[in-house]
Amino acid sequence: MSRIFFDNAATTPIDPEVIAAMTEVMTKNYGNPSSIHSEGRSARAIIEQARKTVANALNCSIGEIFFTSGGTEANNMALKNSVRDLGVTRIISSPLEHHCVLHSLDAIVASGSARVEMVRIDEKGSVDPEDLKAKLASSDEKTLVSLMHSNNEIGNLLPMDEVAVICEEAGAYFHCDTVQTMGYFPIDLDATNVSFLSGSAHKFYGPKGIGFVYINNDNIIKPYLDGGAQERNMRGGTENIYGIVGLAKAMEKAVAEREVRAEKISSLKRYFIEKLTATYPEVTINGNPDQSHFKVLSVSFPESDKGDLLLMNLDLHGISASGGSACSSGIDVGSHVIGHLHPDSKRHTIRFSFSHHNTTDEVDVVVEKLGGML
Ligand SMILES: Cc1ncc(COP(=O)(O)O)c(C=O)c1O
């Protein structure tokens, strides 16, 4: 029996056209992009073409896109460089951010260079915009607001445009972790004033270990990695040309197929919710259903003796899902997001996350198989 992959917020399978684009460059373009000879120049041209694809997708300038090793590095760079180079002394964030943001904030606080305030989160896990406004108004300090566009565990979406306006009016920088939404939702950086955002190819059918950070032209920051002059002096190290090509191809397809994919995944999620709640009325859905990423569905099951084995039993039945976030070395240490929202709950939470490759037949199988596991 073929496996059912419902863990597409953790990662996505690489699109065959992406593999083909990468393989072609691997085969033909081994030049170092910094070399001035022909091989080097053609590698450089490939990277700059890829940068253009990303910049076009976001309606920003090519000079604002810097390739990184992924979302973690992009977020580290935005947070740490804005403290080091832009004089930020206060960061307003939320307790539901990804660990790469939360742990960067811990490191910043430990260094004594800035302090962190957490914005109020409502019972469904959404940011309270009034509290954000109040916090911004409470101090004249140079402030960076760091809030994710979609939560990777419960799917809640941030009204990015609204938060961008709030930050702009308060004179604050705005960093948005867009790792889960990049390629899924339109982002127009000409219309929306964001200081930094991040992307990671493996979340939109590209390869792992490659991503990018968008840094608004108004923000002059110094290199994150010291070394050569790569990435216009911002990130030393020979470029991951295969990854960059794969990222650009994946982005190009994500943009071209965005509506079709979104429609397919949204209706699959609706079908899953209807079927699951009709079959097991005692399940609860986490997060805010009115503002939710169509690919993420976090479900809590009632306390039961078999609950701890739920993920393992799903895996044994050929179904891949996640206990929360899969970014903590595969060990289910419990989700800080669910823990924050439901600190006393003994229910068992599973994150199902979908792709345009999934089908309603797969949903039927999962809902049926869950019966023996609860
Ligand atoms: C919201 C969010 N931010 C950042 C990351 C980290 O991205 P990467 O795996 O590219 O380091 C992830 C990965 O799960 C994520 O979901």
pLDDT digits (tens, 9 = 90+) for 142-181: 999 999 999 999 999 999 999 999 999 999 999 999 999 9
C-alpha 181/C-alpha 29 separation (Å) is: 31
CATH node for 4-12+258-373: 3.90.1150.10
194, 2 Cβ separation under 8 angstroms: no
C-alpha 121/C-alpha 271 separation (Å) is: 29
Side-chain-side CA neighbours of 348 within 13 Å: the count stands at 18
Residue 75 alpha carbon, nearest atom of ligand 1: 4
Residue 150 alpha carbon, nearest atom of ligand 1: 1
C-alpha 253/C-alpha 237 separation (Å) is: 28
- Ligand 1 contact, 176 CB (< 6 A): no
Q: Tokens 């992924």: give the residue.
A: 70
Mean per-residue pLDDT, 6-15:
98
- Ligand 1 contact, 152 CB (< 6 A): yes
Q: Tokens 């904030």: give the residue.
A: 105
- Ligand 1 contact, 324 CB (< 6 A): no
Which is nearest to 101 in space by CA: 46, 180, 157? 180
Mean per-residue pLDDT, 134-140:
98
Confidence of residue 329 (pLDDT cuts 50, 70, 90): very low
CATH node for 16-256: 3.40.640.10
User: Where exactly does CATH 3.90.1150.10 map onto the chain?
Assistant: 4-12+258-373
Distance from residue 36's CA to the centre of ligand 1 (Å):
35
In sequence order, which ranges of 112-257 are alpha helices (DSSP H)? 129-137, 160-170, 241-256
Burial code (b: 16+ CB inside 10 Å, e: under 16) for 307-343 equals beebbebbeebebbbbbbbbbeeeeeeebbbbeebbe
Confidence of residue 326 (pLDDT cuts 50, 70, 90): very low
Catalytic site includes residue 327: yes
Residue 200 alpha carbon, nearest atom of ligand 1: 10
Distance from residue 287's CA to the centre of ligand 1 (Å):
19
C-alpha 355/C-alpha 18 separation (Å) is: 16
User: Where exactly does CATH 3.40.640.10 map onto the chain?
Assistant: 16-256
**Helix (H), strand (E) at residue 85:** helix 71-86
Q: Atom 8 (ligand 1): residue with closest C-alpha?
A: 71
Distance from residue 371's CA to the centre of ligand 1 (Å):
32
pLDDT in tens, 218-252: 998 999 999 999 999 999 999 999 999 999 999 99
What type of residue sits at position 245?
V
